[in-house]
A = this chain, B = another copy of it.
């Protein structure tokens, strides 16, 4: 019998383009999905997609089921929201701080969407504070903080949103451009441009250079991503940024990007919230929406 599970899988498969990645998205193994879909296909009596193309190509039957999924799943989500609301806990406050530069790209659509569904939750990004946001979260001045480096703090829970790769942006004609990846020593002769934050919060150092005991020739800072890009493009340095922050510059062929090490440097972005707000229906919904939106908006990220 057809179940929602199958529809969710198919949507993931379409968005991902391959079984392997779809499996990641629904937090199952590739094998599980293979079995699941095979079962379904047998019961329906026809294949749902062609596996030998990349991305996978859906058959007519597959397309029909996808259409069903597109129709049905939003209705189900809406009902679930209503139920959550009926279950109580409706009004609340969601004041946020964003530690991660350039997160607005996916955060704004998330907030818009959320506002429509939870009008009774006061959502805001209070500006102007320059205190440390995580203690402010614990002290209930804030309700959610987007951060890439979780610090153990009583009563604070870190909910992983997604993983992203830190890439090294270099000028188009740079000697490192075109390499499959760079090694730490490759940076000994470079000027590294970073955001003006503590050394310990920069993954290039903590995960890449420091373990190898390497220092770049020079380190300078810039406030905004666009400024960094200008410096990089004009050959005055290189900088490490999340892959998704770079995509727009890469598409315009403004700079080139290289992985840091053979495996790449991967970090996880977290939403820090207070333990007691963790199970509030609207909080769960916000996090779910945030994840959905970021996957829809950003490229090259992976489920946590």
Contacts and interface: CB of A to CB of B under 8 A. Distances in A.
A281 B43 CA distance: 11
Interface residues of A, number: 27
Nearest to A45: B87
Contact of A79 (B3, B46, B68, B281): B68
A71 interface: yes
Contacts of A83: 44, 46, 61, 64-65
Interface string A81-101: 011101110000000000000
Contacts of A45: 84, 87-88, 281
B82 A64 contact: yes
Interface in A69-85: 71-72, 75-76, 79-80, 82-84
Q: Is the interface of A mostly helix, strand, loop or mixed?
A: helix
A75 B76 contact: no
Contacts of A115: none
A47 to B, nearest CB: 10
Interface string A217-231: 000000000000000
A76 B73 CA distance: 11
A75 B71 CA distance: 8
A201 interface: no
B60 A86 contact: yes
Contacts of A65: 79, 83
Contacts of A46: 83, 86-88
A76 B76 CA distance: 13
Interface in A23-38: none
Contacts of A5: 1, 3
Given A61-B87, A64-B83, 12 more contacts: A3-B3, A44-B83, A44-B84, A44-B87, A45-B281, A46-B83, A46-B86, A60-B86, A64-B86, A65-B83, A68-B79, A72-B75
7 contacts: A1-B5, A2-B76, A46-B87, A46-B88, A60-B86, A64-B82, A64-B83
